[in-house]
C-alpha cells in the first residue's frame, strides 16, 4: 500500500502543481493511534511545490486521492499532516492475499542475505548455567531464528570458556577437598558438582585473605599472597605446559560439566551448529599476538608481558599475554574471531554478551582492525542488560545464583498447579498433561524474558510470568488454543476449515482492526531482525492475541447465521492462529494445541 500511495501522491503533485517530486520527499508513516486514519503523509516537504499553507496543501492532495484512488476512502488534515483512511474493501482484498500465503515468514525475506554467526551461551566450566545464562541463550537462539527467517545464512556458535584461573579454582578445590567425589557417587549433575567446588574455593580463599590482612598485609597483597591463589596460578602454568596429571584432572571435570550443560540446553530447547573451546582458540590467539609483537603493533613490557596501546583509539592499554606467558580472555577472543572468519567467511559475527563487557568488545574490534583484519567491522556486540530476581542480584562466587535447572523445574511445577486449578485437562493422559505443563512453563519463562527490550536490565518474577492473563506467554498460548478449540467445534459441525472460501463479505470495524494488525507481522519481524530485538515480536504477539480475544468476545463465529460472514471469521481466526504460531516459533516457544 505504501508503494501505491507514493505513486499516487507523486501523480497528485504532478497534476495539481505541475511538478515532479522525488521519492525521498514523500514521507509516509502509520497514523498515530490518537488520530483517525491508516497512513499519514508529512506535507511539509511538498510546500516547495504548492507554495501554499500545509493545511491547504494537505487538503488538495487528499481531495485528489479520494477522487482518483479508490483505496482511499477519506482523509483529514492536522496541521502539516495528511491522515488517509483506507477503505474496508481494500483491507478485505489484502486479507484474501494474506490468507493464501503458505508461510507468513516468507514475506520477511531480505533481498541480499548475509552469512551471520550468532555466538551465545559462552559458559565457564566451573559452574552450572544460571538465570543470566537463560536470558543469554534465549536471546541468542531467538535471534538465530529471526535472522534465519529473514533469509540469512545463520550459524549458531558457542565458545566454552574451559581454561584459565577460574577453571583451576574448581580443580584445585576438588583436588584438596573432594575425596574422589563424582557425579555418580554424589547423585549431582556434573556442572552442579564442579560449581560446588568453585564456591568452596572462594570460601576458603576468603578465609586466607582475612587472615593475611589481620597479620598486616593490605587486601590487594593478601589476594596475591594467599596460598590457594598461588597454588591456582601454579596449576594454570602446569596446564599450559601440558602437565599430564593436571590435564587429566581438567578433562575429567570438564566432561562432567559438558554432560550437565547438555541436559540444561535440551530443557531450554537451544542448540549449536559449532562449539569452540578456549583451550583450542587461545593457542591461535597467542600466535596472533606474537606475530603482532614482531610487526611492532604491540609492545613488550619490562616484566615480559605483552600489551597493546589503544590510547589513539580512545581506549586504554590492554594486556594480551601475562609475564609468565599465559593468555587472557582477549587472547582467546582474537583466536576465535580469526578461526571463525577463516572457516565461515562471515559478514557479521554477533556476540550475545551482557553489557558489562561493552568495553571488552570495543577493544577486540580495535585490536583486530589494528592488526589489519578488515572484516572486524562485521563484529557486533549484542549488548543486553542484566537479569535479577525481586530479591536482588546473583553472585556466583557466593553460591547465591539462581540455578537454571531449578528455575526450569519450578516453572513447570507452577504451570502444573495453575493448569490443574483450571481443570480443563482431565481427559488427557498423564503423559500428555506433563507435555502441556512443560510447554506452558517454558513458554512463560521464555516469553517473560524475551518481551523485555534486550538493552534493558530486567527483574524476573516467576509468579508474574505464569499468569494466564496479561502480557504473558500463557495468555498468548491460551489465545492460540482457544482458536484451535473453535476449529475442533467447526469440524464437529462438518465444516472443513481448510476448504472454506469467502468473497464479497462486508467486514466490520473490529474485523478490519484485526486485519490491520495481521498486516504488521512481516514488518515487525523485519524490524526485529534489523534491530536485533526479539521483544518487538513478543509484544506484537501479545497485542495480536489481545485484539483477537476482544473480537472473540464481541462476535459470534460458529453461531453466525450468515455463512459468508461465518466463513470469513473462521479464516480470520485461522490466519491469526498461524501468525501467532509463527511469531512464537521465532521466539523459540512451543504452542500447545489445548490448555
Residue 82 lies in a domain: yes
List the grid coordinates of 380: 557486533
| Mean of all residue pLDDT scores within the chain | 93
Q: Pairing between strand 115-119 and 348-354?
A: parallel
Assess whether pLDDT exceeds 80 at residue 279.
yes
Tell the burial category of 83 from Cβ atoms under 10 Å away from its Cβ (0-12, 13-18, 19+). Answer: buried
Q: 107 pLDDT band (50/70/90 cuts)?
A: confident
Identify whether 108 is part of a domain.
no
Same domain, yes or no, for 174 and 30? no
Q: What is the mean pLDDT of residues 84-113?
A: 91
Q: Which long-range contacts (CB under 8 A, 24 or more apart) does 100-109 make?
A: 103/582, 104/521, 104/522, 104/575, 104/578, 104/579, 104/582, 105/149, 105/522, 105/525, 105/582, 105/586, 107/522, 108/149, 108/150, 108/151, 108/522, 108/525, 108/526, 108/529, 109/150, 109/151
pLDDT at position 155 is 98
Distance CA 266, CA 195 (A): 20
State whether 359 and 420 are in the same domain. Answer: no
- Domain check: are 151 and 56 in the same one? no
Average pLDDT over residues 96-115: 90
User: Which residue range is the domain that position 38 belongs to?
Assistant: 2-86
Percent of the chain whose predicted confidence (pLDDT) is above 70: 98
pLDDT tens digits, 150-187: 999 999 999 999 998 999 999 999 999 999 999 999 99
For 152, half-sphere exposure in the C-beta direction (CA atoms, 13 angstrom radius) is 22
What pLDDT, on the 0 to 100 scale, is given for residue 399? Answer: 46
Q: What does the DSSP assignment read for 306-355? A: EEEE-GGGT--EEEEE-TTS-B-HHHHHHHHHHHHHHHH--SEEEEEEEG
Question: Considering the entire predicted model, what is its pTM?
Answer: 0.91
Residue 397 has pLDDT above 50, yes or no: no
Please report whether residue 538 resides in a domain: yes
Last-in-domain residue among 44, 70, 86: 86
Does residue 566 sit within a domain?
yes
Q: 402 by DSSP, 3-state: which?
A: coil
pLDDT band per the 50, 70, 90 thresholds, residue 522: very high
Whether 206 is in a domain gets the answer: yes
Of 86, 106, 135, which marks where a domain is finished? 86
What is the mean pLDDT of the segment spanning 235-246? 94
Question: Which strands sit side by side in the sheet containing 39-42, from one edge to the other?
Answer: 27-30, 39-42, 81-86, 72-78
Q: Determine the pLDDT at residue 394.
A: 43
**How many Cβ atoms are within 10 Å of 302's Cβ, its own excluded?**
6
Backbone angles phi, psi at 506, to 5 degrees: -95, 105
- Rounded Cα gap, residues 108 and 528, in angstroms: 11
CA distance 121 to 157: 9
Say whether pLDDT at 567 is over 50: yes
pLDDT band for position 392 (50/70/90)?
low
How far apart CA 341 and CA 202 sit, in angstroms, is: 38
Model confidence at 396: pLDDT above 50: no
Confidence of residue 400 (pLDDT cuts 50, 70, 90): low
- Percentage of the chain surpassing pLDDT 90? 85
Q: Which of 581, 585, 595, 582 is nearest to 435 (CA)?
A: 595
Q: How many domains would you assign to the chain?
A: 3
Rounded CA separation 583/300 (Å) = 53
How far from chain centre, in Å, is Cα 255? 29
Is 45 among the domain residues? yes
Mean pLDDT of 258-262: 97
Whether the pLDDT of residue 481 is over 50: the answer is yes
Whole-number Å distance between alpha carbons of 71 and 66 = 8
Q: At what angle do helices 521-531 and 131-149 cross, to 10 degrees?
A: 120
What is the pLDDT, as a whole number, of residue 428?
85
Look up the CATH number of the domain holding residue 143. 3.40.50.620
Same domain, 133 and 209: yes
Boundary (domain end) residue, out of 86, 111, 137: 86
Average confidence (pLDDT) over 402-423: 88
Does residue 151 share a domain with residue 29?
no
Verify that 292 and 369 share a domain, yes or no: yes
Statement to judge: residues 423 and 353 lie in one domain = no
Of 279-283, 315-319, 337-341, 392-396, which gets the smallest average pLDDT?
392-396
Q: Does residue 12 sit in the same domain as residue 144?
A: no
Q: Give 424: exposed, middle or buried? Use CB within 10 Å, 0-12, 13-18, 19+.
A: middle
- CATH number of the domain at 482, please: 1.10.730.10
pLDDT band at 391 (very low <50, low <70, confident <90, very high): low
Query: For residue 70, is pLDDT > 90?
Result: yes
Same domain flag for 283 and 161: yes
For the cut 90, the answer to whether the pLDDT of residue 442 exceeds it is: yes
Residue 107 lies in a domain: no
487-501, pLDDT tens digit by residue?
999 999 999 888 887
Do 287 and 206 reside in the same domain of the chain?
yes
Q: Which of 258, 239, 257 is nearest to 172 (CA)?
A: 239
For cell 550468532, the residue is 118
Closest CA to 349 of 35, 120, 26, 60: 120
The answer to whether residues 384 and 414 belong to one domain is: no
pLDDT greater than 60 at residue 592: yes
* 144 and 27 in a common domain: no
Domain assignment present for residue 97? The answer is no
The CATH code of the domain that includes 20 is: 3.30.1360.70
Amino acid at each position: 500500500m505504501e508503494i501505491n500511495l507514493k505513486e499516487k501522491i507523486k501523480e497528485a503533485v504532478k497534476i495539481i502543481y505541475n511538478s515532479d517530486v522525488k521519492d525521498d520527499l514523500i514521507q509516509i508513516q502509520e497514523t498515530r493511534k490518537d488520530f483517525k486514519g491508516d497512513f499519514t503523509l508529512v506535507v511539509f516537504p511538498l510546500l516547495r511545490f504548492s507554495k501554499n499553507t500545509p493545511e491547504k496543501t494537505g487538503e488538495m492532495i487528499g481531495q485528489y486521492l479520494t477522487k482518483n484512488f479508490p483505496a482511499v476512502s477519506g482523509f483529514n488534515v492536522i496541521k502539516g499532516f495528511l491522515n488517509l483512511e483506507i477503505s474496508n474493501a481494500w483491507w478485505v482484498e489484502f486479507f484474501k492475499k494474506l490468507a493464501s500465503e503458505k508461510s507468513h515468514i516468507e514475506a520477511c525475506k531480505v533481498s541480499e542475505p548475509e552469512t551471520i554467526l550468532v555466538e551465545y551461551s559462552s559458559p565457564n566450566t566451573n559452574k552450572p548455567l544460571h538465570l543470566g545464562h537463560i536470558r543469554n541463550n534465549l536471546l541468542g537462539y531467538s535471534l538465530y531464528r529471526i535472522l534465519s527467517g529473514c533469509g540469512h545464512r545463520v550459524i549458531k556458535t558457542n565458545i566454552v570458556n574451559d581454561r584459565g584461573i577460574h577453571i583451576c579454582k574448581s580443580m584445585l578445590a576438588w583436588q584438596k577437598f573432594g575425596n574422589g567425589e563424582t557425579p555418580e557417587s554424589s547423585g549431582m549433575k556434573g556442572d552442579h558438582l564442579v560449581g560446588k567446588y568453585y564456591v568452596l574455593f572462594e570460601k576458603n580463599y576468603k578465609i586466607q585473605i582475612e587472615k593475611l590482612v589481620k597479620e598486616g598485609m593490605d587486601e590487594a597483597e593478601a589476594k596475591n599472597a594467599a596460598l590457594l591463589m598461588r597454588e591456582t596460578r601454579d596449576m594454570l602454568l602446569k596446564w599450559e605446559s601440558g602437565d599430564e596429571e593436571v590435564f587429566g584432572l581438567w578433562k575429567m571435570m570438564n566432561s562432567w560439566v559438558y554432560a550437565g550443560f547438555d541436559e540444561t540446553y535440551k530443557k531450554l530447547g537451544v542448540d549449536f551448529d559449532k562449539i569452540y573451546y578456549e583451550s583450542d582458540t587461545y593457542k591461535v590467539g597467542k600466535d596472533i599476538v606474537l606475530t603482532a609483537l614482531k610487526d611492532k603493533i604491540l609492545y613488550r613490557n619490562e616484566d615480559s608481558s605483552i600489551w597493546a596501546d589503544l590510547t589513539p583509539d580512545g581506549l586504554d592499554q590492554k594486556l594480551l599475554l601475562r609475564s609468565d606467558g599465559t593468555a587472557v580472555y582477549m587472547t582467546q577472543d582474537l583466536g576465535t574471531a580469526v578461526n571463525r572468519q577463516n572457516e565461515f567467511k562471515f559478514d557479521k559475527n554477533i556476540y550475545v554478551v551482557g553489557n558489562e563487557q561493552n568495553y571488552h568488545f570495543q577493544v577486540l574490534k580495535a585490536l583486530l582492525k589494528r592488526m589489519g583484519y578488515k572484516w572486524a567491522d562485521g563484529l557486533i556486540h549484542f549488548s543486553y542488560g542484566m537479569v535479577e530476581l525481586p530479591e536482588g542480584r546473583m553472585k556466583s562466587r557466593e553460591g547465591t545464583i539462581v540455578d537454571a535447572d531449578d528455575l526450569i523445574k519450578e516453572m513447570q511445577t507452577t504451570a502444573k498447579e495453575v493448569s490443574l486449578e483450571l481443570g480443563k485437562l482431565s481427559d488427557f493422559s498423564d503423559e500428555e498433561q506433563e507435555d502441556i505443563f512443560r510447554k506452558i512453563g517454558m513458554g512463560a519463562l521464555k516469553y517473560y524474558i524475551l518481551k523485555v527490550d534486550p538493552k534493558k536490565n530486567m527483574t524476573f518474577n516467576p509468579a508474574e510470568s505464569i499468569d494466564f492473563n496479561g502480557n504473558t506467554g500463557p495468555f498468548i498460548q491460551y489465545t492460540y488454543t482457544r482458536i484451535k478449540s473453535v476449529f475442533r467445534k467447526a469440524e464437529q459441525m462438518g465444516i472443513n476449515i481448510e476448504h472454506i472460501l469467502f468473497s464479497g463479505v462486508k467486514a466490520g470495524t473490529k474485523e478490519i482492526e484485526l486485519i490491520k494488525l495481521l498486516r504488521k507481522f512481516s514488518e515487525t519481524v523485519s524490524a526485529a531482525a534489523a534491530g536485533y530485538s526479539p521483544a518487538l515480536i513478543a509484544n506484537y504477539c501479545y497485542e495480536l492475541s489481545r485484539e483477537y480475544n476482544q473480537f472473540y468476545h464481541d462476535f459470534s463465529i460458529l453461531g453466525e447465521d450468515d455463512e459468508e460472514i461465518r466463513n470469513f471469521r473462521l479464516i480470520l481466526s485461522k490466519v491469526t492462529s498461524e501468525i501467532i504460531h509463527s511469531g512464537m516459533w521465532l521466539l523459540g516457544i512451543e504452542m500447545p494445541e489445548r490448555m
